[in-house]
Amino acid sequence: MLSLPLPGGIRRNPYSLVGDPHDRRKWRIAVRRQEQSRGGSAWLHESAREGQPLKVSMPANLFPMARLARHHILIAGGIGVTPIVSHARELARLGHSFEVHYAHRAPEFGVLVDELRQLAGGDVYCYVASRNEMLDFRQLLAERPLGTHAYLCGPQGMVENFHQVARDMGWPDTHVHSERFLAPPPGEAFAVKLARSGREVAVPGDQSMLEALEAAGAEPPFLCRGGACGQCETEVIACDSAFQHNDLFLSQPERDSGRKIMPCVSRIAGGCITINL
Amino acid sequence: MSAAAPSIKSQPVYHALEWDAAGVSHLLFVAADDRPLLERLLAAPPRGDLTVLVTDAAAADHLRASGSDAHTVVEDGLARGLEALESFLRTADMGLRLYLVGCEDAIWQAAGIAARYGMSSAEIRLFQTGTKARPVFCVHCRAMTRGVRTNLADCSGCGRTLFVRDHFSRRLGAYMGFQIDAEEPGVKPPVEVAYP
Protein backbone atom coordinates (compact mmCIF):
# COMPACT_ATOMS: atom_id res chain seq x y z
CA MET A 1 0.00 0.00 0.00
CA LEU A 2 1.51 3.29 -1.14
CA SER A 3 0.48 6.66 0.30
CA LEU A 4 0.79 9.15 -2.54
CA PRO A 5 0.90 12.89 -1.77
CA LEU A 6 -1.53 14.05 -4.44
CA PRO A 7 -2.47 17.73 -4.71
CA GLY A 8 -5.96 17.02 -3.36
CA GLY A 9 -4.63 15.07 -0.36
CA ILE A 10 -3.12 11.69 0.46
CA ARG A 11 -4.24 8.88 -1.85
CA ARG A 12 -3.63 5.30 -0.66
CA ASN A 13 -3.33 2.79 -3.50
CA PRO A 14 -2.52 -0.94 -3.28
CA TYR A 15 -0.01 -2.45 -5.75
CA SER A 16 1.30 -5.97 -6.29
CA LEU A 17 4.92 -6.68 -5.48
CA VAL A 18 6.67 -8.16 -8.51
CA GLY A 19 10.15 -8.58 -7.08
CA ASP A 20 11.84 -11.62 -5.60
CA PRO A 21 10.00 -12.44 -2.34
CA HIS A 22 13.28 -13.65 -0.87
CA ASP A 23 15.10 -10.40 -1.56
CA ARG A 24 14.00 -8.29 1.40
CA ARG A 25 16.20 -5.31 0.52
CA LYS A 26 13.87 -3.93 -2.12
CA TRP A 27 10.20 -3.96 -3.02
CA ARG A 28 9.33 -3.68 -6.69
CA ILE A 29 5.97 -2.71 -8.21
CA ALA A 30 4.70 -2.20 -11.75
CA VAL A 31 2.20 0.61 -12.40
CA ARG A 32 0.32 0.97 -15.65
CA ARG A 33 -0.29 4.52 -16.77
CA GLN A 34 -4.07 4.87 -16.92
CA GLU A 35 -5.60 7.22 -19.45
CA GLN A 36 -8.36 7.98 -16.98
CA SER A 37 -6.25 8.00 -13.87
CA ARG A 38 -7.88 8.86 -10.57
CA GLY A 39 -4.57 10.51 -9.80
CA GLY A 40 -2.39 7.68 -8.54
CA SER A 41 -0.87 6.29 -11.72
CA ALA A 42 -0.48 9.74 -13.30
CA TRP A 43 1.26 11.06 -10.20
CA LEU A 44 3.66 8.08 -10.09
CA HIS A 45 4.48 8.45 -13.78
CA GLU A 46 4.78 12.26 -13.87
CA SER A 47 5.51 13.65 -10.44
CA ALA A 48 7.28 10.99 -8.39
CA ARG A 49 11.03 11.59 -8.28
CA GLU A 50 13.93 9.29 -7.53
CA GLY A 51 14.91 9.60 -3.91
CA GLN A 52 11.52 10.90 -2.84
CA PRO A 53 10.40 9.12 0.33
CA LEU A 54 6.90 7.59 0.22
CA LYS A 55 4.98 6.03 3.05
CA VAL A 56 4.30 2.31 2.48
CA SER A 57 2.50 -0.28 4.60
CA MET A 58 3.48 -3.92 5.19
CA PRO A 59 2.66 -6.22 2.26
CA ALA A 60 -0.23 -8.68 2.55
CA ASN A 61 -1.05 -11.73 0.44
CA LEU A 62 -4.72 -12.10 -0.47
CA PHE A 63 -3.98 -14.36 -3.44
CA PRO A 64 -2.08 -17.33 -1.99
CA MET A 65 -0.90 -20.41 -3.85
CA ALA A 66 -1.98 -24.01 -3.21
CA ARG A 67 1.30 -25.62 -2.31
CA LEU A 68 0.02 -29.19 -2.65
CA ALA A 69 -1.06 -28.73 -6.28
CA ARG A 70 0.37 -31.15 -8.86
CA HIS A 71 0.40 -28.47 -11.56
CA HIS A 72 -0.24 -24.72 -11.63
CA ILE A 73 -1.78 -22.71 -14.47
CA LEU A 74 -1.06 -19.01 -14.02
CA ILE A 75 -3.16 -16.61 -16.09
CA ALA A 76 -2.69 -12.85 -16.42
CA GLY A 77 -4.94 -10.28 -18.05
CA GLY A 78 -3.13 -7.00 -18.78
CA ILE A 79 -1.42 -5.43 -15.78
CA GLY A 80 -2.81 -8.34 -13.74
CA VAL A 81 0.54 -9.86 -14.67
CA THR A 82 2.13 -8.39 -11.55
CA PRO A 83 1.10 -10.99 -8.92
CA ILE A 84 1.48 -13.70 -11.60
CA VAL A 85 5.17 -12.83 -11.94
CA SER A 86 5.60 -13.25 -8.19
CA HIS A 87 3.87 -16.62 -8.27
CA ALA A 88 6.00 -17.73 -11.23
CA ARG A 89 9.12 -16.70 -9.36
CA GLU A 90 8.14 -18.72 -6.30
CA LEU A 91 7.10 -21.79 -8.31
CA ALA A 92 10.35 -21.68 -10.28
CA ARG A 93 12.29 -21.48 -7.02
CA LEU A 94 10.38 -24.48 -5.61
CA GLY A 95 10.81 -26.40 -8.88
CA HIS A 96 7.05 -27.00 -9.22
CA SER A 97 5.30 -27.72 -12.50
CA PHE A 98 3.64 -24.58 -13.91
CA GLU A 99 2.78 -22.65 -17.05
CA VAL A 100 1.86 -19.02 -17.71
CA HIS A 101 -0.82 -17.59 -20.01
CA TYR A 102 -0.71 -13.85 -20.53
CA ALA A 103 -3.40 -11.92 -22.42
CA HIS A 104 -2.74 -8.29 -23.31
CA ARG A 105 -3.93 -5.65 -25.75
CA ALA A 106 -0.92 -5.15 -28.00
CA PRO A 107 2.75 -6.21 -28.04
CA GLU A 108 3.84 -2.99 -26.31
CA PHE A 109 1.56 -3.84 -23.36
CA GLY A 110 3.31 -7.13 -22.73
CA VAL A 111 5.33 -5.90 -19.79
CA LEU A 112 7.42 -8.44 -17.88
CA VAL A 113 7.16 -11.06 -20.66
CA ASP A 114 10.94 -11.48 -20.79
CA GLU A 115 11.05 -11.99 -17.06
CA LEU A 116 8.29 -14.60 -17.27
CA ARG A 117 10.19 -16.42 -20.02
CA GLN A 118 13.27 -16.52 -17.81
CA LEU A 119 11.23 -18.08 -15.01
CA ALA A 120 8.98 -20.45 -16.97
CA GLY A 121 11.09 -21.11 -20.06
CA GLY A 122 8.95 -22.30 -22.96
CA ASP A 123 5.81 -22.51 -20.88
CA VAL A 124 4.77 -18.88 -21.41
CA TYR A 125 1.92 -18.31 -23.84
CA CYS A 126 0.92 -14.80 -24.93
CA TYR A 127 -2.46 -13.82 -26.35
CA VAL A 128 -2.23 -10.44 -28.04
CA ALA A 129 -5.60 -8.85 -28.85
CA SER A 130 -4.17 -6.61 -31.60
CA ARG A 131 -3.12 -9.81 -33.42
CA ASN A 132 -6.60 -11.30 -32.88
CA GLU A 133 -5.25 -13.89 -30.47
CA MET A 134 -7.85 -14.87 -27.91
CA LEU A 135 -7.45 -16.76 -24.68
CA ASP A 136 -10.13 -19.45 -24.57
CA PHE A 137 -10.69 -20.68 -21.01
CA ARG A 138 -12.62 -23.70 -22.23
CA GLN A 139 -9.59 -24.85 -24.18
CA LEU A 140 -7.16 -23.85 -21.46
CA LEU A 141 -8.93 -25.80 -18.71
CA ALA A 142 -9.76 -28.92 -20.77
CA GLU A 143 -8.13 -32.27 -19.99
CA ARG A 144 -6.01 -31.05 -17.12
CA PRO A 145 -4.63 -33.63 -14.72
CA LEU A 146 -6.32 -34.07 -11.37
CA GLY A 147 -4.82 -31.75 -8.75
CA THR A 148 -4.24 -28.85 -11.15
CA HIS A 149 -4.84 -25.38 -9.73
CA ALA A 150 -5.60 -22.35 -11.92
CA TYR A 151 -5.00 -18.72 -10.94
CA LEU A 152 -6.08 -15.56 -12.72
CA CYS A 153 -5.40 -11.92 -12.07
CA GLY A 154 -7.21 -9.65 -14.49
CA PRO A 155 -10.15 -7.34 -15.01
CA GLN A 156 -13.55 -8.15 -13.56
CA GLY A 157 -15.23 -9.48 -16.72
CA MET A 158 -12.35 -11.85 -17.37
CA VAL A 159 -12.42 -13.11 -13.79
CA GLU A 160 -16.16 -13.76 -13.91
CA ASN A 161 -15.87 -15.62 -17.22
CA PHE A 162 -12.98 -17.69 -15.85
CA HIS A 163 -14.95 -18.82 -12.80
CA GLN A 164 -18.03 -19.58 -14.87
CA VAL A 165 -16.15 -21.72 -17.41
CA ALA A 166 -14.21 -23.52 -14.66
CA ARG A 167 -17.46 -24.35 -12.86
CA ASP A 168 -19.09 -25.57 -16.08
CA MET A 169 -16.13 -27.86 -16.63
CA GLY A 170 -16.45 -29.40 -13.18
CA TRP A 171 -13.55 -27.63 -11.49
CA PRO A 172 -14.22 -27.22 -7.76
CA ASP A 173 -13.85 -23.71 -6.33
CA THR A 174 -10.98 -25.03 -4.19
CA HIS A 175 -8.80 -25.27 -7.33
CA VAL A 176 -9.75 -21.98 -8.99
CA HIS A 177 -8.21 -18.77 -7.67
CA SER A 178 -8.51 -15.19 -8.79
CA GLU A 179 -7.60 -11.66 -8.00
CA ARG A 180 -9.40 -8.83 -9.69
CA PHE A 181 -7.65 -5.51 -9.90
CA LEU A 182 -10.14 -2.92 -9.06
CA ALA A 183 -9.92 0.80 -8.64
CA PRO A 184 -12.94 2.21 -6.81
CA PRO A 185 -15.53 2.81 -9.57
CA PRO A 186 -16.86 6.37 -9.66
CA GLY A 187 -20.57 7.11 -9.32
CA GLU A 188 -22.99 9.68 -8.00
CA ALA A 189 -22.22 11.93 -5.08
CA PHE A 190 -23.86 10.90 -1.82
CA ALA A 191 -23.75 11.60 1.91
CA VAL A 192 -22.52 9.37 4.75
CA LYS A 193 -23.83 9.84 8.28
CA LEU A 194 -21.58 8.50 11.03
CA ALA A 195 -23.95 7.14 13.66
CA ARG A 196 -21.55 7.28 16.60
CA SER A 197 -20.36 10.86 16.17
CA GLY A 198 -23.42 12.18 14.35
CA ARG A 199 -21.13 13.69 11.68
CA GLU A 200 -22.03 13.85 8.02
CA VAL A 201 -19.45 13.43 5.26
CA ALA A 202 -20.02 14.24 1.58
CA VAL A 203 -18.67 11.69 -0.92
CA PRO A 204 -17.97 13.25 -4.33
CA GLY A 205 -18.65 11.17 -7.45
CA ASP A 206 -14.96 10.58 -8.21
CA GLN A 207 -13.96 9.58 -4.68
CA SER A 208 -14.59 6.34 -2.82
CA MET A 209 -16.48 6.30 0.46
CA LEU A 210 -13.32 5.15 2.25
CA GLU A 211 -11.28 8.01 0.78
CA ALA A 212 -13.95 10.56 1.68
CA LEU A 213 -14.07 9.27 5.27
CA GLU A 214 -10.30 9.46 5.54
CA ALA A 215 -10.25 12.97 4.06
CA ALA A 216 -12.78 14.00 6.73
CA GLY A 217 -10.43 12.76 9.45
CA ALA A 218 -12.19 9.48 10.26
CA GLU A 219 -9.98 6.39 10.56
CA PRO A 220 -11.99 3.44 9.23
CA PRO A 221 -10.17 0.08 9.01
CA PHE A 222 -8.81 -1.00 5.62
CA LEU A 223 -6.28 -3.37 4.09
CA CYS A 224 -6.52 -4.20 0.37
CA ARG A 225 -8.59 -1.22 -0.83
CA GLY A 226 -9.74 -3.42 -3.68
CA GLY A 227 -12.88 -5.07 -2.28
CA ALA A 228 -11.18 -8.40 -1.64
CA CYS A 229 -9.99 -8.70 1.93
CA GLY A 230 -13.02 -7.80 4.03
CA GLN A 231 -11.12 -5.61 6.45
CA CYS A 232 -13.24 -2.49 5.86
CA GLU A 233 -16.62 -4.27 6.20
CA THR A 234 -18.95 -1.71 7.74
CA GLU A 235 -22.36 -2.05 9.33
CA VAL A 236 -25.15 -0.10 7.63
CA ILE A 237 -27.81 1.33 9.91
CA ALA A 238 -29.94 3.06 7.29
CA CYS A 239 -29.83 3.80 3.59
CA ASP A 240 -32.35 5.78 1.54
CA SER A 241 -30.89 4.83 -1.83
CA ALA A 242 -29.77 1.81 -3.90
CA PHE A 243 -26.55 -0.04 -2.98
CA GLN A 244 -23.82 -0.38 -5.61
CA HIS A 245 -21.81 -3.30 -4.24
CA ASN A 246 -18.54 -3.65 -6.18
CA ASP A 247 -16.61 -5.85 -3.75
CA LEU A 248 -15.75 -9.55 -3.99
CA PHE A 249 -16.20 -10.16 -0.31
CA LEU A 250 -19.86 -9.96 0.73
CA SER A 251 -22.09 -12.94 0.02
CA GLN A 252 -25.39 -12.49 -1.80
CA PRO A 253 -27.44 -12.89 1.42
CA GLU A 254 -25.24 -10.26 3.07
CA ARG A 255 -25.82 -7.91 0.15
CA ASP A 256 -29.54 -8.61 0.18
CA SER A 257 -29.73 -7.86 3.91
CA GLY A 258 -28.79 -4.21 3.28
CA ARG A 259 -26.82 -4.26 6.54
CA LYS A 260 -23.26 -4.30 5.20
CA ILE A 261 -21.05 -2.36 2.81
CA MET A 262 -17.36 -2.36 1.85
CA PRO A 263 -16.52 1.38 1.67
CA CYS A 264 -13.26 0.82 -0.27
CA VAL A 265 -15.04 0.08 -3.58
CA SER A 266 -18.81 0.15 -2.96
CA ARG A 267 -21.13 3.13 -2.88
CA ILE A 268 -24.80 4.12 -3.16
CA ALA A 269 -26.68 5.79 -6.00
CA GLY A 270 -26.97 9.23 -4.42
CA GLY A 271 -28.91 9.99 -1.25
CA CYS A 272 -27.68 9.21 2.23
CA ILE A 273 -26.32 6.18 4.07
CA THR A 274 -25.92 5.89 7.84
CA ILE A 275 -23.11 3.63 9.05
CA ASN A 276 -22.02 2.37 12.45
CA LEU A 277 -18.76 4.32 12.68
CA MET B 1 -29.53 -43.69 7.54
CA SER B 2 -29.30 -40.91 10.10
CA ALA B 3 -25.85 -40.18 11.42
CA ALA B 4 -25.51 -40.19 15.19
CA ALA B 5 -23.86 -37.10 16.66
CA PRO B 6 -20.21 -37.89 17.33
CA SER B 7 -18.89 -37.83 20.89
CA ILE B 8 -15.85 -35.91 19.73
CA LYS B 9 -15.45 -33.19 17.09
CA SER B 10 -12.83 -34.96 14.99
CA GLN B 11 -15.01 -38.04 14.46
CA PRO B 12 -16.36 -38.02 10.89
CA VAL B 13 -20.08 -37.68 10.20
CA TYR B 14 -21.31 -39.27 6.98
CA HIS B 15 -24.28 -37.88 5.09
CA ALA B 16 -26.53 -39.81 2.73
CA LEU B 17 -24.57 -40.24 -0.49
CA GLU B 18 -25.76 -38.25 -3.53
CA TRP B 19 -24.17 -37.62 -6.92
CA ASP B 20 -22.43 -34.25 -7.26
CA ALA B 21 -24.06 -32.53 -10.23
CA ALA B 22 -21.08 -30.14 -10.54
CA GLY B 23 -18.82 -33.00 -11.67
CA VAL B 24 -18.33 -33.94 -15.32
CA SER B 25 -17.03 -37.47 -14.62
CA HIS B 26 -17.55 -39.74 -11.66
CA LEU B 27 -15.77 -42.64 -9.99
CA LEU B 28 -17.71 -44.73 -7.48
CA PHE B 29 -15.42 -46.85 -5.30
CA VAL B 30 -17.34 -49.67 -3.60
CA ALA B 31 -15.61 -51.61 -0.81
CA ALA B 32 -18.71 -53.00 0.95
CA ASP B 33 -21.94 -54.65 -0.05
CA ASP B 34 -24.73 -52.11 0.47
CA ARG B 35 -27.35 -53.17 -2.02
CA PRO B 36 -30.03 -50.54 -1.32
CA LEU B 37 -27.46 -47.75 -1.63
CA LEU B 38 -26.03 -49.04 -4.92
CA GLU B 39 -29.49 -49.59 -6.37
CA ARG B 40 -30.57 -46.10 -5.42
CA LEU B 41 -27.43 -44.48 -6.86
CA LEU B 42 -27.41 -46.45 -10.11
CA ALA B 43 -31.12 -45.93 -10.70
CA ALA B 44 -30.36 -42.25 -11.34
CA PRO B 45 -26.78 -42.03 -12.63
CA PRO B 46 -25.10 -38.62 -12.89
CA ARG B 47 -24.40 -36.59 -16.02
CA GLY B 48 -21.06 -37.53 -17.62
CA ASP B 49 -18.86 -40.63 -17.51
CA LEU B 50 -19.42 -42.99 -14.61
CA THR B 51 -16.99 -45.72 -13.58
CA VAL B 52 -17.74 -48.13 -10.75
CA LEU B 53 -14.73 -49.75 -9.09
CA VAL B 54 -15.78 -52.66 -6.86
CA THR B 55 -13.52 -54.49 -4.41
CA ASP B 56 -16.24 -56.45 -2.59
CA ALA B 57 -17.27 -59.77 -4.22
CA ALA B 58 -20.89 -59.69 -3.03
CA ALA B 59 -21.34 -56.11 -4.20
CA ALA B 60 -19.88 -57.09 -7.59
CA ASP B 61 -22.42 -59.94 -7.90
CA HIS B 62 -25.29 -57.61 -7.05
CA LEU B 63 -24.05 -55.07 -9.52
CA ARG B 64 -23.92 -57.65 -12.31
CA ALA B 65 -27.41 -58.87 -11.45
CA SER B 66 -28.79 -55.32 -11.43
CA GLY B 67 -28.13 -54.90 -15.15
CA SER B 68 -26.64 -51.43 -14.66
CA ASP B 69 -24.86 -50.17 -17.78
CA ALA B 70 -22.26 -48.21 -15.80
CA HIS B 71 -18.67 -49.03 -16.74
CA THR B 72 -17.64 -51.47 -13.99
CA VAL B 73 -14.21 -52.66 -12.88
CA VAL B 74 -14.02 -55.48 -10.34
CA GLU B 75 -10.88 -55.98 -8.27
CA ASP B 76 -10.22 -58.84 -5.89
CA GLY B 77 -9.98 -57.28 -2.44
CA LEU B 78 -9.17 -53.88 -0.98
CA ALA B 79 -5.40 -53.85 -1.64
CA ARG B 80 -5.87 -54.44 -5.36
CA GLY B 81 -8.80 -52.05 -5.40
CA LEU B 82 -6.64 -49.28 -3.96
CA GLU B 83 -3.96 -49.96 -6.59
CA ALA B 84 -6.60 -49.75 -9.31
CA LEU B 85 -7.90 -46.51 -7.79
CA GLU B 86 -4.41 -45.04 -7.87
CA SER B 87 -3.81 -45.92 -11.51
CA PHE B 88 -7.19 -44.47 -12.41
CA LEU B 89 -6.39 -41.18 -10.63
CA ARG B 90 -2.93 -40.99 -12.18
CA THR B 91 -4.44 -40.34 -15.61
CA ALA B 92 -7.73 -38.70 -14.57
CA ASP B 93 -8.60 -35.11 -15.47
CA MET B 94 -10.04 -32.22 -13.52
CA GLY B 95 -13.82 -32.38 -13.30
CA LEU B 96 -13.81 -35.83 -11.67
CA ARG B 97 -15.80 -36.53 -8.52
CA LEU B 98 -14.89 -39.46 -6.30
CA TYR B 99 -17.43 -41.35 -4.16
CA LEU B 100 -16.09 -43.74 -1.52
CA VAL B 101 -18.37 -46.40 -0.05
CA GLY B 102 -17.26 -48.93 2.55
CA CYS B 103 -15.86 -49.34 6.04
CA GLU B 104 -13.81 -46.46 7.42
CA ASP B 105 -10.53 -48.27 6.89
CA ALA B 106 -11.23 -48.67 3.17
CA ILE B 107 -12.71 -45.26 2.43
CA TRP B 108 -10.08 -43.28 4.33
CA GLN B 109 -7.21 -45.17 2.70
CA ALA B 110 -8.82 -44.33 -0.63
CA ALA B 111 -9.28 -40.69 0.44
CA GLY B 112 -5.59 -40.53 1.34
CA ILE B 113 -4.62 -41.67 -2.15
CA ALA B 114 -6.97 -39.11 -3.70
CA ALA B 115 -5.42 -36.35 -1.58
CA ARG B 116 -1.98 -37.33 -2.89
CA TYR B 117 -3.33 -36.73 -6.39
CA GLY B 118 -4.36 -33.22 -5.41
CA MET B 119 -8.07 -33.80 -4.87
CA SER B 120 -9.72 -31.59 -2.26
CA SER B 121 -12.59 -32.45 0.04
CA ALA B 122 -14.84 -30.59 -2.42
CA GLU B 123 -14.26 -33.42 -4.93
CA ILE B 124 -14.61 -36.41 -2.63
CA ARG B 125 -17.69 -37.80 -0.85
CA LEU B 126 -17.38 -40.56 1.70
CA PHE B 127 -19.99 -42.91 3.06
CA GLN B 128 -19.41 -45.47 5.80
CA THR B 129 -21.29 -48.73 5.40
CA GLY B 130 -20.67 -52.35 6.39
CA THR B 131 -18.49 -53.08 9.38
CA LYS B 132 -17.85 -50.39 12.00
CA ALA B 133 -14.39 -51.88 12.62
CA ARG B 134 -11.77 -49.19 13.19
CA PRO B 135 -8.25 -48.63 11.93
CA VAL B 136 -6.24 -47.68 15.04
CA PHE B 137 -3.06 -45.62 15.13
CA CYS B 138 -0.74 -46.35 18.08
CA VAL B 139 0.45 -43.08 19.60
CA HIS B 140 3.45 -44.91 21.13
CA CYS B 141 5.00 -46.74 18.16
CA ARG B 142 3.00 -45.16 15.28
CA ALA B 143 1.95 -48.56 13.91
CA MET B 144 -1.48 -49.06 12.36
CA THR B 145 -3.76 -51.85 13.57
CA ARG B 146 -6.66 -52.46 11.22
CA GLY B 147 -10.08 -54.03 11.66
CA VAL B 148 -10.41 -53.37 15.39
CA ARG B 149 -13.89 -54.26 16.71
CA THR B 150 -13.22 -54.07 20.42
CA ASN B 151 -12.68 -51.25 22.92
CA LEU B 152 -9.19 -52.63 23.64
CA ALA B 153 -6.82 -54.09 21.08
CA ASP B 154 -3.23 -55.32 20.96
CA CYS B 155 -1.04 -53.00 18.88
CA SER B 156 0.27 -54.72 15.75
CA GLY B 157 3.56 -52.87 16.19
CA CYS B 158 4.56 -52.83 19.88
CA GLY B 159 2.05 -55.24 21.41
CA ARG B 160 0.79 -52.75 24.01
CA THR B 161 -2.89 -53.05 24.90
CA LEU B 162 -4.44 -49.97 23.32
CA PHE B 163 -7.63 -48.21 24.29
CA VAL B 164 -9.42 -47.12 21.11
CA ARG B 165 -10.52 -43.51 21.29
CA ASP B 166 -13.14 -41.66 19.17
CA HIS B 167 -10.47 -39.12 18.21
CA PHE B 168 -9.98 -39.48 14.44
CA SER B 169 -7.20 -38.26 12.15
CA ARG B 170 -8.27 -37.56 8.58
CA ARG B 171 -4.65 -37.42 7.47
CA LEU B 172 -3.89 -40.87 8.89
CA GLY B 173 -7.41 -42.21 8.32
CA ALA B 174 -7.40 -43.80 11.76
CA TYR B 175 -8.58 -43.53 15.36
CA MET B 176 -6.10 -42.84 18.12
CA GLY B 177 -5.08 -45.70 20.42
CA PHE B 178 -3.08 -45.38 23.63
CA GLN B 179 -1.84 -47.83 26.25
CA ILE B 180 -4.69 -48.55 28.64
CA ASP B 181 -2.56 -49.66 31.60
CA ALA B 182 0.34 -47.22 31.39
CA GLU B 183 -0.23 -45.84 34.87
CA GLU B 184 -1.26 -49.05 36.64
CA PRO B 185 0.26 -52.00 34.75
CA GLY B 186 -2.13 -54.88 34.36
CA VAL B 187 -5.24 -52.90 35.35
CA LYS B 188 -7.54 -53.12 32.33
CA PRO B 189 -11.31 -52.90 31.87
CA PRO B 190 -13.06 -55.91 30.31
CA VAL B 191 -12.78 -56.31 26.55
CA GLU B 192 -16.07 -55.65 24.76
CA VAL B 193 -17.13 -55.58 21.15
CA ALA B 194 -17.68 -51.86 20.59
CA TYR B 195 -17.40 -51.59 16.79
CA PRO B 196 -19.29 -54.53 15.22
Band of pLDDT at residue B41, cut at 50, 70 and 90:
very high
B82 and B150 fall within a common domain: no
Q: What is the count of structural domains for chain B?
A: 2
Mutate to test the interface with A, among B94, B120, B124 (most CBs of A within 10 A): B94
**Alpha-carbon separation of residue A207 from A217, B111, B128, B153 (angstroms):** 15, 51, 56, 69
CB atoms B118 and A172 under 8 Å: no
Residue B39 and residue B103 in one domain? yes
Residues A153-197 pLDDT 10s: 988 889 989 999 999 999 999 999 998 766 778 899 999 999 998
Q: B106 and B175, same structural domain? A: no
- Chain A interface includes B46 (CB < 8 A): no
> What was the pLDDT predicted at B4?
62
Model confidence pLDDT, tens digit, residues B124-147 = 999 999 999 999 999 999 999 999
Is pLDDT larger for residue B164 or for residue A14? B164
On whether residue B6 sits in a domain, the answer given is no
Residues of the domain holding B160: 134-179
**Shortest CA distance from A169: residue in chain B:** B95
B48–A contact, CB cutoff 8 A: yes
Residues B111 and B146 placed together within one structural domain of the fold: no
- Residue B102 domain-assigned (yes or no): yes
Instruction: Give the model's confidence band at B157: pLDDT under 50 very low, under 70 low, under 90 confident, else very high.
Output: very high
Examine residue B47 and state whether it is found in any structural domain, yes or no. Answer: yes
Q: Are residues B29 and B104 in the same domain?
A: yes
Task: Specify the pLDDT at position B2.
Answer: 44
CB of A144 closer than 8 Å to CB of A151: no
Q: Which residues of A touch B (CB under 8 A)?
A: 68-70, 141, 143-149, 167, 169-175
Q: Is residue B186 part of a domain?
A: no
Q: Which among A141, A146, A175 has the least Cβ separation from residue B92?
A: A146
Are B147 and B87 found together in one domain? no
- Alpha carbon distance A150, B63 (integer Å): 38
Q: Which residue in chain A has the smallest CA separation from B89? A: A146
Helix, strand, coil percentages in chain B from 3-state DSSP, rounded to 5: 25, 30, 45
The pLDDT of residue A212: 92
pLDDT band at B186 (very low <50, low <70, confident <90, very high): confident
- Helix H or strand E encompassing B153: strand B152-154
Tell me which of A146, A148, A163, A171 to substitute to probe the interface with B (most B C-beta atoms closer than 10 Å). A146
Whichever domain contains B84, its CATH number is: 3.40.50.720
The enclosing H or E element of A19 equals none
Q: What span, in angstroms and rounded, lies between the C-alpha atoms of B99 and B66?
A: 19
Nearest CA in chain A to B93: A145
Q: Are residues B142 and B124 in the same domain?
A: no
Does residue B109 sit in the same domain as residue B169? no
Is residue B167 in some structural domain? yes
Q: Is there a common fold for A71-180 and A190-275? A: no
Give pTM, 2 decimals: 0.79
Rounded Cα distance, A185 and A164, in Å: 23
Q: Which residues of chain A have pLDDT under 70?
A: 36-37, 62, 181-182
CA angle at B93 for the pair A165 and A82, rounded to the nearest 5°: 55
pLDDT at residue A182, rounded to an integer: 67
CA dist B95 and A165 (Å) reads 12
- B173 in Cβ contact with B104 (< 8 Å): yes
- Name the architecture of domain A71-180: 3-Layer(aba) Sandwich (3.40)
pLDDT value at residue A175: 96
Residue B80 shares a structural domain with residue B123 = yes
**Closest alpha carbon within chain B to A150:** B94
Q: Is residue B10 part of a domain?
A: no
Residues of B in contact with A172 (CB under 8 A): 22, 120, 122-123
Predicted local confidence at residue A151, as pLDDT: 96
Share of chain B above pLDDT 70, in %: 98
Contact B119/A147, CB-based, under 8 Å?
A: yes
Q: What share of chain A is helix, strand, coil (3-state, %, to 5)?
A: 25, 25, 50
In a domain, B193, yes or no: no
Residues B114 and B34 in one domain: yes
What phi-psi label fits residue A15: left (phi over 0), alpha (psi between -120 and 50 degrees) or beta? beta
HSE-CB of A111 using CA atoms within 13 angstroms:
16
Percent with pLDDT over 90 in chain B: 87
Mean pLDDT of chain A: 89
- What is the domain partition of chain A in residue ranges? 1-59, 71-180, 190-275
pLDDT at A230: 83
pLDDT of residue B1: 42
Same domain, B124 and B154: no
Residue B12 forms contact with A (CB below 8 Å): no
Domain end (from B99, B128, B157): B128
Q: Are B54 and B76 members of one domain? A: yes
Helix (H) or strand (E) holding A57: none
Q: Which CATH architecture fits A190-275?
A: Roll (3.10)
In a domain, B15, yes or no: no
